[in-house]
Structure 1
Amino acid sequence: MYDHTKQYRCTIIRGKSKKEMDDFLPVYAKVIDEICPCSESEFESLFNNAFIRFLPESDRIKKTMDNHRTEIAGKLFGMYYRADDGIVYESERTQKFLEDNDQPAFFKDICYKMQFPNGTQKVGTTVRQRVADGICIRPIAFVLKVLLIAKQANVFITKREIGYYILNSLDVLQGNASPYEVFEQIVKDQKDGTERTIIVPGKATSYNWQHIKEQLNYLELANLIRFTDDKRVVLNLNELQTIELFAADYDKKPEFDVYSYDLSSLDGRKVFQLDWDYYFSQISAVSDQFATSAEALLFDGTVKDEQKSEGKPKPAVNLTAFGDEGESIVYEYEKKRVSEFNTRLANKVLSLGRTKGIGYDIQSVIAEPGDMAEFVKYIEVKSTKRLTCPDMNDDLWVDTLNVTRNEWIAAQQHGKFYSIFRVYFTRDGIFMFVIANVAEKLNDGRMTAVPMTYRVDFNKSSVDSVIVPQS
């Protein structure tokens, strides 16, 4: 029987604010992609030397950089892993993010793989204690299941209630309570006017609630929940399919079986750590269902839209064509801008994204006063998704994007007439960052480019043998 009075602080590594994690994610990916694979002995210096330029002067100390590298990019985000051959490799999760630029999908995958116990903490002490205490839970799945039950009953649940009744509850963390028991206790206490909180003698509130706040932050970065002004937790019903996928696993044991390892021996702990790091760095088997739609991001979290709506949520957009979504927005913007300048020129705005090999998505015209009004302008559209919008007042903010060989050539060829429109889909709306005259910015150092792939040509003199497998 569920006993909510049995409280248990199950910590996770402290991250950064939601805004900082949104900003740093592409930076981590950029740095790791540049330096990996590399030897374990050189990984620290390579990472720190590449990462230091993205930190303010006050944070350019080894302790801070080590925290970004090992605690956040490594343990929390699983963006690289150390193999038993002594090489540090870029993770599958990082590779996927660099391909799709879907930051909420990145955090969905982290949330899906989040479990207690896990290998992000000290194995010889913390992990062994979690095992000794019988902790065995997929916390995010359990939280989402309770929120779904509450939604169906038209009951609202607060951050504080999630913390006390779920994420700090020993019975829940041991897998000895059902979401329905937890929900019934929450409703009973709400009706009685009883407010419960986490109290650890001699500890500040921040200590008591840090591990809960962190987990809820990841859920918000994953675009699955929002918080109302009165601290209620609201499901984003435009992500209902993903939420139900998570919630269906609430009573399943964690995928990674910590209990199968001998954590009492040094060798056993080493094997466990290597196995965990590799496991967590790989994307989950259901990650192809985590794509984020612009519509789902624009959900504003109001109770009216989420809990009281009797209609079904609109289906998510298939984001295999997400680039086309961004192109459509830029195309309509250009059509309107050019038309307002001169209606006659509006038909010169062309959407060419499906035309392969030309190196740009939209052909437009300058449409500004002067002799070049009708000169052709070329636009490449690069879309991305994140919870928050980048802050243009942050001098250290940086983002990264991939360009093809044809796009690179087009940027050089068309010079000042070639622009990149970086389209950000966020919870606060859609923002287009215009990068004009890409070639000039590359030449003067305001942008940098790193070669990502090699084309290898070979002929018969390169071939050592030909093998025909027997059927």
Structure 2
Amino acid sequence: MYNHFNQYRCTIIRGKSKGEMDNLLPAYAQIIDEITPADKGSFENSFNRLLKRFLPNASIKTLDNHRTEIAGKLFGMYYIDENQNVYTSERTLKFLEDNDQPAFFKDMCFKIQYPNGMDKPATILERINNNISVRPCSLVLSVLLEAKEVGLVLTKNDIGYYILNSLDALQGKAFPNEIVNVIVNDRNEGIIRKIKNPGKASSYNMQHINELLNYLELANLIHIGMEYEVLLNENELNAINYFAKHWDEKLEFDVYSYDLSTVENRKKIGTDWSFYFSKLVDSKEIFTTTAKSLGIPEEKLSKKLGRTDLVALGDEGELFVYEYEKERVKSYNHRLASKVLHLGKTRGLGYDIQSVIAEDGDISEFVKYIEVKSTKRVTAPSIEDDNWIDTINLTRNEWIAANQHSNYYFIYRVYFVRGTVFMYVIKNVKEKVDDGLLRVIPVAYRADFGNSAIDMVIKEARSEYGV
């Protein structure tokens, strides 16, 4: 029987604000991919040095926190093996491939559990002693689905008191429908319940609740209403249902199997958890974020972008820019609209769209070369924020094209965000690099070799399959 009066504060590692986490994720990913694999000492020094470029005023302590607590433990962007070597996680590699930030956070939220190996051994032991065993994000979404069925809108306080601060819920003893029934009864009686910790500020009471809800927001699964209502994103029901059906399954990472009385096992649980948490959930298609799931109005998208089978982010961004450029050029001179070409599938060019300057002056009909770099995220980018940062990858051909076409080469950074689309335009990349406004860092190497470099030839190489 669910007893909501049994309260228990179960915290999670603190992140930054939603906007900061959306901003920092690409920077973390690029840095980690660039410097791994590496031994732990080299990784720590290199990560801090490179992140300092993005956060020039950050102290060593702050940089350490970004590396260990957020990028490492919370986001699971790398893992450290038993030999103290650091490797890029599967979650990070996928993000570098698809630039789908909500999908990254969906994967992270799905694997969050209490208890886990993120915490200090003393905290893990306390949670074991209290029989904690729950997938908090799955339970929250399952309760929200049950509430939706009976027309009940839950608030942050409801989520906090009845679920994330409830011992019965955290022990996995409370069924979603039981929780909803209790809330309905309290509402009918005009009872509003809140987390209480005498002598503590309200921020202490709700801090851990807000943190977890922030991650679910970044995953594009919920949004918070004006009166702090916690609302499901109806366009993400496939992912939400996937979470919800796993709410009562046994935890994948069995913390209870470790004997934490020994130093060796206390180290081992951290290493094992790091490796487990870095692995992707096998749900790539379910977690993929579409423009529709971000709630972008149809009038902002082309008919092609509205297709449910079009999920490749590069395609979405290129089509968006292509249609934008066609309309822009057409409004200047309809005769020039036919000169706007979508060339994204043509390999080796170094740009995706060939357009026309289409501005008053002597160069109005000059060719404009556009490289499109797209991403999906929940929060809108804000260049007014002094801490705003972003990072993209350029291929060798793109860098050559940027130098070759200089003033006529543009990067369109497209952000598909909740409710709309932003584009930031960077003109003349080469000039901005020369002026120190933009940094381009070579991170890949090509090795060419001839017969003089060969040290050994093994003619009889065979695999275990006899090939």
With the length of structure 1 as denominator, give the TM-score of the two structures. 0.92
1:397 aligns with 2:397: no
- Is this contact kept in 1: 2:406–2:430, CA < 8 A? yes
1:367 aligns with 2:358: yes
1:128 aligns with 2:125: yes
- Is this contact kept in 2: 1:138–1:253, CA < 8 A? no
Counterpart residue identity of residue 261, structure 1: Y
1:220 aligns with 2:217: yes
In structure 2, how many angstroms separate the alpha carbons of the residues matched to 1:191 and 1:118? 37
In structure 2, how many angstroms separate the alpha carbons of the residues matched to 1:17 and 1:318? 33
- Is this contact kept in 1: 2:296–2:421, CA < 8 A? no
Residue 256 (structure 1) shift: 0.7
Number of the residue aligned with 1:349: 340
Residue 382 (structure 1) shift: 0.9
Equivalent of 2:154 in 144, 152, 157: 157
1:257 aligns with 2:230: no
Number of the residue aligned with 2:302: none
Counterpart residue identity of residue 9, structure 2: R
1:465 aligns with 2:458: yes
Written as runs of structure 1 = structure 2, the 5 A alignment for 1:138-153 is 138-153=135-150
Number of the residue aligned with 2:412: 421
Q: For each residue in 1:178-220, what CA deviation from the matched residue of structure 2 results, as whole angstroms up to 9, or x when unmatched?
A: 1111111111111111111111121111111111110011000
Number of the residue aligned with 1:18: 18
Written as runs of structure 1 = structure 2, the 5 A alignment for 1:51-450 is 51-55=51-55, 57=57, 60-123=58-121, 125-298=122-295, 317-318=308-309, 320-450=311-441
Residue 457 (structure 1) shift: 4.2
Counterpart residue identity of residue 372, structure 2: V
Number of the residue aligned with 1:309: none
In structure 2, how many angstroms separate the alpha carbons of the residues matched to 1:178 and 1:454? 54
Q: For each residue in 1:369-406, what CA deviation from the matched residue of structure 2 results, as whole angstroms up to 9, or x when unmatched?
A: 11111111111111101111221112342211122222
Residues 1:81 and 1:363: Cα distance change in structure 2 (over 3 Å): same
Counterpart residue identity of residue 431, structure 1: F
Q: For each residue in 1:215-244, what CA deviation from the matched residue of structure 2 results, as whole angstroms up to 9, or x when unmatched?
A: 011000100001111111111111110000
In structure 2, how many angstroms separate the alpha carbons of the residues matched to 1:229 and 1:171? 29
3-state DSSP class of the match of 2:393? coil
Number of the residue aligned with 1:454: 445
3-state DSSP class of the match of 2:174? coil
Residues 1:9 and 1:285: Cα distance change in structure 2 (over 3 Å): same
In structure 2, how many angstroms separate the alpha carbons of the residues matched to 1:208 and 1:464? 67
3-state DSSP class of the match of 2:413? strand
Counterpart residue identity of residue 224, structure 1: L
Aligned residue pairs, count = 455
Residue 456 (structure 1) shift: 3.7
Counterpart residue identity of residue 457, structure 2: D
In structure 2, how many angstroms separate the alpha carbons of the residues matched to 1:414 and 1:322? 26
Number of the residue aligned with 2:28: 28
Residue 127 (structure 1) shift: 0.5
Coordinate RMSD, CA, aligned: 1.9
Residue 315 (structure 1) shift: 9.2
Residue 448 (structure 1) shift: 1.9
Counterpart residue identity of residue 61, structure 1: S
Residues 1:398 and 1:448: Cα distance change in structure 2 (over 3 Å): same
In structure 2, how many angstroms separate the alpha carbons of the residues matched to 1:316 and 1:89? 37
Q: For each residue in 1:418-441, what CA deviation from the matched residue of structure 2 results, as whole angstroms up to 9, or x when unmatched?
A: 111000011141011101112222
In structure 1, how many angstroms separate the alpha carbons of the residues matched to 2:248 and 2:227? 30
In structure 2, how many angstroms separate the alpha carbons of the residues matched to 1:171 and 1:70? 31
Residues 1:373 and 1:454: Cα distance change in structure 2 (over 3 Å): same
Residue 338 (structure 1) shift: 1.0
- Is this contact kept in 2: 1:238–1:316, CA < 8 A? no
- Is this contact kept in 1: 2:163–2:169, CA < 8 A? yes
Higher mean alpha-carbon deviation, 131-140 vs 31-40, is at: 31-40
Counterpart residue identity of residue 11, structure 1: T
Number of the residue aligned with 1:308: none
Higher mean alpha-carbon deviation, 60-69 vs 253-262, is at: 60-69
Q: For each residue in 1:353-383, what CA deviation from the matched residue of structure 2 results, as whole angstroms up to 9, or x when unmatched?
A: 1222222111111111111111111111111
Structure 2 gaps of 5+ residues are 298-304
Counterpart residue identity of residue 92, structure 1: E
- Is this contact kept in 1: 2:260–2:266, CA < 8 A? yes
Higher mean alpha-carbon deviation, 227-236 vs 86-95, is at: 86-95
In structure 2, how many angstroms separate the alpha carbons of the residues matched to 1:317 and 1:16? 33
Number of the residue aligned with 1:304: none
- Is this contact kept in 1: 2:412–2:423, CA < 8 A? yes
Counterpart residue identity of residue 229, structure 2: R
Number of the residue aligned with 1:311: none
In structure 1, how many angstroms separate the alpha carbons of the residues matched to 2:184 and 2:296? 27
Residues 1:436 and 1:121: Cα distance change in structure 2 (over 3 Å): same
Residues 1:460 and 1:53: Cα distance change in structure 2 (over 3 Å): closer
In structure 2, how many angstroms separate the alpha carbons of the residues matched to 1:85 and 1:442? 39
- Is this contact kept in 2: 1:166–1:172, CA < 8 A? yes
- Is this contact kept in 2: 1:297–1:425, CA < 8 A? yes
In structure 1, how many angstroms separate the alpha carbons of the residues matched to 2:23 and 2:309? 25
Higher mean alpha-carbon deviation, 39-48 vs 8-17, is at: 39-48
3-state DSSP class of the match of 1:276? helix
